[in-house]
Chains A and B, each alone.
Chain A
Amino acid sequence: MTDQPAAGTLRRTSLHDEHLLLGARMVPFAGWEMPVQYAGIIEEHQAVRRAAGMFDVSHMGRFELIGPEAAALLRYVCTYDMTRLSPARGHYAVACRPDGGIMDDVYVYCLAEDRYLLVANASNAGKIRGWLRQHGRRFRVEISDRHTSTCMIAVQGPQALERLARVLEPDFIKPLKPRACGEIEWENAFVFASRTGYTGEDGLELVSSAAAGPRLWRALLDAEVLPCGLGARDTLRLEASLLLYGNDMDETVNPIEVGLGWVVTTDDGADFLGREALLRARESQLQRTLVCLKAQERGIMRPGCSILRSGRQVGKVTSGSHSPTLGGSIAMGFVPPELAAEGTELIVDIRGKPLPVRVVPRPFYKRPRAAEERNA
């Protein structure tokens, strides 16, 4: 089996017909035919910042790991110590090569002591499946690919939980704290839900059987959740300074350089892929670091634009766009550590035109949080 379809054919999620009914503009993305927008990127972006929106994220890889050594395998392939996860909790991490280069960034959920769900990027799903199977041979664990049998919908926004409570049992949703997860039966289908997301807003990510997906999607539409495409997903995650694999990180980048040292656990002494390289990276002087940039004039930074200081190229933009919430252009990019201080003034080359930009604190956008979330 392979994730790469024959040339010219794209995989479709179980919600494909729903997208067409809604008049979505479909685009190829990581081998899948996905909605980039329905009503318009800015309207969808604002719906998620102000009310509630939903995204078909079924293209993301989903693997179920079952067995007495599932946690041990996850500890070995992830930088974060997943053996710390108690059931019904999730955590973010990266999977690294032995040299510390990032294979993928993943979310791992503990469903039970011997049962985990790992969510990988669509573009890396095939690679991660091979990686898990290769390293899984040494562990008592069974790895099941749930990419085709399930679908995944992210419901995000300040009103997300309230609107979800019109669809799923409110008593199930209410106790889910940030990064918590659980499973519930809904209309004779199993639904997995986690209080996580990729937009900087509150909300849940749902996984259900592919067959139940269209019903769940329609129930959410009836609950006034606005369908949103990959376009808004990208501007939302950029405002929240959440990294995108393939843009802000890849196999030539280590987690320390991109500010992901917090998901690298070394104090448990356990061996994991990349451990030695990441210990060295932590102790040595960084060559580059990922910073947040805000344009000081009109013009839009895009991935690949050069970052200049005193006329000399010092780095490159990895993600950049217009920010609907802040106005103007925002970006992330690599610069040498001595140019990473807040307030540092730099120039970004926009197709030959110099755009003055400033290093600003990360993240660009932070939602107002409820007290119960801060304590979680």
Chain B
Amino acid sequence: MVLVKIAAARQIVARCCERSAAAGVREWMTLTHARAVLMGTPLRVHPYDPLGDEAALKALARWAVRCAPLVAPDPPDGLLMDVSGCRPLYGNEQRLVNTFADRIGRLGFHTRVACASTFGCAWAVARFSDQERSVIAHGQEHQALTPLPIEALRIDEDTAAALLEVGIERIGHLFALPRRELVARFGSHLLLRMDQATGKTIEVIQPQYPVEPPSVQRVFDGPVTQLEAVMRTVRELTEDLAGKLHRLESGVRQLDIVFDRLDIAALRVLITLSRPSRDVKHLWSLLKPKVETIHMGFGIERIALTATVVGRLRHEQIEQADGQWRSSESDDDAPADRAFGELIDTLAQRLGPHRTVCVHPVESHLPERSFREHSVMQTQRAQGDAKQITASDRPSILLERPEPIDVMGITPEGPPSWLRWRGEEHRIVTAIGPERIGSVWWSTDVSPTYHSHRDYFKVQDGAGRWLWVYREREAGRWFAHGEWA
């Protein structure tokens, strides 16, 4: 598998897997070159997404907080973890390294882990050591770094090239040289990296701190079985949560409500909103139908509301009217965008997100696959809009499935002069076409109907009804596919 990026209208290999690297594929190779090197071996090609990689690395850093108190992402492919004080939990450093490597390996990642008293030394050993899991004891940094190449010091390419020009290939060679001359020839950054690796200088990382989502809860004195009490509590908790969100200048996108029930499993209700909101009235209108129908069992002991996904929401301006301060965005004059967000939420909540959709064009020449529905609750579309849209005429009604028709025509491959569709006969007076639409010959995961060429005709019958009909070239069958209505 390789990841490719576009550079100067060429597909360049940005990353490659171990198997392809072993076969000779290298980064900055063109994709054509890589295919030639692999000599026909099937190759999976995916676009290189550095922003996605960075987001995934941050997510992994948040996950790794369970192993160490301070974790910082080290782009493009590393994590720096401060494990100070974690040793008593695992017994020794080797067990800590093994535990972490095993746990992250279960997520599907191949890792190289090193533990040392400095970040620089651990970084170098993890990447350039022969072993995948290493532990460098305190005081052994100098010895561990000596055989490693100079790239292990995290220096820039120019400095590394300058060092290689004068024959300095290993870190040990640098240790043998006078420090004063190194600064004069290669700058102070090289010395800083050496000192960071050996522990003579402190290195600071920027860890990811987990952010607790806004949450409110209420614990009852005993199990509550009255629906009115539960509903009132949820309403009050919603107001409390809205107050918290107001202080955080944010709104909720996803709300998680947990009802802890006596002797049976907790009940969880999830509410998703299209846009961030902290409007109690709107949130309650979404929550109320859900709360009304919950199964309380033997009673509810605790209710907790958590805004698992939040979005930024600006503060509201307040103004003075009739001697009282109030929000300028009253219910009667709510902003239109907020009103539309509430409309979407209400529709999606009752009808389901798959029944409240938007449509965007996708890259396909097939009429029935050239547009795709996506739920309005999605924050981002799975794929961007297709830039190119067919300029050909398309009917206003496209049948979900083409319907077979009986036709008569003057010539075998020409347009029909008579057709019967849905039991009605139509005498054709105008026919425009054919517009040939090819098959999806390159894909095997589509319906067999897409594996034939189609010749489309736009035909008009004597009454002025315009239909879109086509003939399958291979089978010679005719279908009606749409209508201009």
A, B: real partners:
no
**Interface on B for A, CB 8 Å cutoff?**
none
